[in-house]
């Protein structure tokens, strides 16, 4: 049996396993199983972190989309105001030009 398997890291288990000569024994299989379990646990943790990062990214993209929609609405009204001001300025300029 492997002593203190739960307290050992993957690296420690790998070093001990690599130092052994009897890999095809019950104890060698226990090292292999322990390494697989610890590796699977690490992969699961990493996958959870990736999922959390993707979820945060999706929320950020949605927030940017909402902000962009608000900005687009404001720009639309700014264009309407500028168009009206341009028309009024054009009419005023035409009236001044033709009244001379």
- Considering only CA atoms, which of 29, 28, 49, 37 is closest in space to residue 9? 37
- Considering only CA atoms, which of 13, 68, 15 is closest in space to residue 41? 13
Per-residue pLDDT of the chain (100 residues; tens, 9 = 90+): 677 777 788 888 888 888 877 777 777 788 888 889 889 989 999 999 999 999 999 999 999 999 999 999 999 999 999 999 999 999 999 999 998 6
Position 13 scores a pLDDT of 82
Q: Residue 31, Cβ neighbours under 10 Å: how many? A: 19
Residue identified by tokens 């610890």 is 38
Q: How far apart are CA 39 and CA 35, in angstroms?
A: 6
Q: How far apart are CA 41 and CA 49, in angstroms?
A: 12
Angle ∠(52,53,55) on CA atoms, nearest 5:
65
Position 48 scores a pLDDT of 96
This prediction has a pTM of 0.58
Are the CB atoms for 7 and 32 separated by under 8 Å?
A: no
Are the CB atoms for 24 and 32 separated by under 8 Å?
A: no
């Amino acid at each position: 049996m492997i002593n203190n398997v739960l307290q050992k890291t993957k690296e420690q288990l790998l070093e001990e396993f690599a130092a052994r000569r009897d890999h095809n024994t019950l104890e060698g299989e226990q090292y292999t199983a322990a390494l697989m379990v610890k590796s699977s646990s690490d992969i699961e943790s990493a996958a959870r972190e990736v999922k959390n990062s993707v979820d945060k990214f999706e929320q950020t993209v949605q927030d940017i989309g909402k902000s962009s929609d608000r900005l687009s609405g404001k720009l639309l009204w700014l264009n309407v105001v500028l168009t009206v001001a341009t028309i009024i300025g054009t009419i005023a300029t035409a009236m001044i030009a033709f009244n001379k």
